[in-house]
Chain A
Amino acid sequence: MARTLTFKIFRYNPTKENDEPHIDTFELEETPRLNLFTALHRIREKQAPDLMFDFVCRAGICGSCAMMINGRPTLACRTLTSDLADTIELYPLPFFKLLGDLSVDTGVWFHDMAKRVESWIHTGKVFDPNVEEERMDNAVANKIYESERCIECGCCVAACATAQVYPDFLGAAGLNRIGRFLFDPRDHRGEQEWFELVSTDIGVFGCIGMMACDDVCPKDLPLLEVFSYIRRKMNSGVKVAVKELDLA
Chain B
Amino acid sequence: MTGIDTELYPKAESRHSQQSGAFKKAKRALLDERVSGLTGAFLALFILGHLILESSILVSAQLYEDVAYFMEHTVPMAQPLIFLVTIVFFVHFVWAGRKIPGKLRDRKKMLELGKKLKASRKGWQQDPNSDIHLRKHFETTLWIWQVRTAMIVLATGAFHLFLVMWNIFTDMGVDGQTVGLTADVATSRVESGLWILYAVLMISVVAHMAIGVYRLIVKWFADTWFVRNYAKALYYFLFWFYTILGTATVIAMAGPLEGILS
In the assembled complex, the Cα of A70 lies from the Cα of B122 at a distance in Å of 8
CB distance from B183 to the nearest CB of A (A): 40
A218 surroundings in chain B (CB, below 8 A): 132
In the assembled complex, the Cα of A229 lies from the Cα of B223 at a distance in Å of 6
In the assembled complex, the Cα of A70 lies from the Cα of B29 at a distance in Å of 37
B113 surroundings in chain A (CB, below 8 A): 94, 159, 161, 164, 212
Q: Which of B46-54, B77-85, B134-142, B236-244 contacts A (4 or more CB under 8 A)?
A: B134-142
Q: Judge whether B123 and A124 touch: CB under 8 Å.
A: no
B109 surroundings in chain A (CB, below 8 A): 161, 164-165
- The reply to whether the CB of A87 lies closer than 8 angstroms to some CB of chain B is yes
- The reply to whether the CB of A98 lies closer than 8 angstroms to some CB of chain B is no
- The reply to whether the CB of B171 lies closer than 8 angstroms to some CB of chain A is no
Q: Judge whether B101 and A71 touch: CB under 8 Å.
A: no
- The reply to whether the CB of A232 lies closer than 8 angstroms to some CB of chain B is yes
**Which of B122, B140, B223 touches A85 (beta carbons < 8 Å)?**
B122
Q: Judge whether A196 and B30 touch: CB under 8 Å.
A: no
* Tally of contacts, chain A with chain B, CB under 8 A: 186
CB distance from A7 to the nearest CB of B (A): 12
Q: Judge whether A165 and B1 touch: CB under 8 Å.
A: no
Interface of B is mostly: helix
Interface residues on B, range: 35 or more
- The reply to whether the CB of A228 lies closer than 8 angstroms to some CB of chain B is yes
Interface size on A, residues (CB 8 A): 68
Which residues in chain B, 112-147, are within 8 Å of chain A measured between CB atoms? Answer: 113-114, 116-117, 119-120, 122-127, 130-137, 139-140, 142-143
Q: Judge whether B137 and A215 touch: CB under 8 Å.
A: yes
CB distance from A162 to the nearest CB of B (A): 8
Q: Judge whether A192 and B23 touch: CB under 8 Å.
A: yes
Q: Judge whether A82 and B130 touch: CB under 8 Å.
A: yes
Most buried by A among B18, B20, B26, B127: B26
**Which of A82, A94, A189, A238 touches B127 (beta carbons < 8 Å)?**
A82
Q: Which of B9-17, B185-193, B195-203, B254-262 contacts A (4 or more CB under 8 A)?
A: B9-17
Name B's A-contacting residues (CB within 8 A).
1-5, 9, 12, 15-18, 20, 22-23, 25-27, 29-30, 32-34, 99, 101, 106, 109-110, 113-114, 116-117, 119-120, 122-127, 130-137, 139-140, 142-143, 215-216, 218-224, 228
5 CB contacts below 8 A, A to B, read A161-B143, A192-B23, A222-B223, A225-B222, A248-B16
